[in-house]
Structure 1
């Protein structure tokens, strides 16, 4: 769950007593909850062990006034950084896909490099506008 309100969170980040009061609101629901005080985002992320505790905290803070300001709370998606059986290391790609990783060491037999043509630069719009200009035309700057 994420709590967002810039007026309240300024006090929570700067005053230790306010931080303790704020934390006590949620430790009453679940003692094992974890707080991430994200000062640069002006938010507090609270991680609960059970979804029921997060729902109870959301209902508690829905219209709760903390130091005269109403809290804004919403659910955040839980991010699992790795599975329980994963060792946390990157795996090698499957062997059938390794030919896509790098080009072959040498070109195939019978391959010859071809000469490319020079680029064709022919802008018909530019040529038409240049042809439309005449020497006799006078141009004045308009202000």
Structure 2
């Protein structure tokens, strides 16, 4: 649809408008600051737009120096914008723009989906498909147990071979000086002193040489 209108002095404008793409609201920018405080100036401002639609509504935003003008249909809003855009009002050039419509899908603000709600401590409820993990079985070194079971008194078993920077790990079995079958009776334990057990000699740490590879 093609319309021709005049704004300000003798300025003529030709605009192609599709009313199906327009909204029924305008945003007035760069309005005078006195518009928000003086009733006479506010009544004069509203009279400009009531000539296009008697049921027009106004919302004043003083912090932004803007006014939202809502019409009953998009045709009235387009005609008001065409005729009043960049016109002089109380010494200020008034700018009119169509308000952008935002579609949010629902008239109410819905809460976010609880996709990660189970991360809250303590969790309100586990997510779908969640299952308690089972504790892992303890690791038992059967080779070490078998080697130790074959050792006799005084024998040793090397777990880890020494390197230039780490010592070896060796398991020693204590000697029993009394022998396997030489344990005294219960009646003799109080009279005879017990033999001292063999002390396990601690493995000496190798000397550190600066030239050794780390």
Where do 4+ consecutive residues of structure 1 move more than 2 Å? 78-83, 88-93, 98-101, 103-107
Q: Quick one: which of 8, 27, 32 aligns to 1:2?
A: 27
Q: Quick one: which of 47, 53, 56 aligns to 1:30?
A: 53
- 2:35 aligns with 12
Q: Tell me, which stretches of 5 or more residues in structure 1 are unaligned? A: 113-143
Q: Name the Cα RMSD after superposition.
A: 3.0
Distance 1:107 1:55 in 2: 63
- 2:90 aligns with 67
Question: How far off its partner does 1:78 sit?
Answer: 2.8
Alignment CA distance shift 1:99-1:74 (3 Å): closer
How many pairs does the alignment contain? 103
Question: Contact 2:52–2:80 (CA<8 Å) still a contact in 1?
Answer: yes
Structure 2 length as normaliser, TM-score?
0.41
Structure number with greater Rg is 2
Structure 1 length as normaliser, TM-score?
0.58
Structure (1 or 2) with the greater strand fraction: 2
- 2:14 aligns with none
Alignment CA distance shift 1:36-1:81 (3 Å): farther
Distance 2:109 2:85 in 1: 41
- Aligned to 2:118, the other structure's residue is in SS state coil
- 1:125 aligns with none
Structure (1 or 2) with the greater helix fraction: 1
Distance 1:43 1:3 in 2: 6
Question: How far off its partner does 1:90 sit?
Answer: 3.6
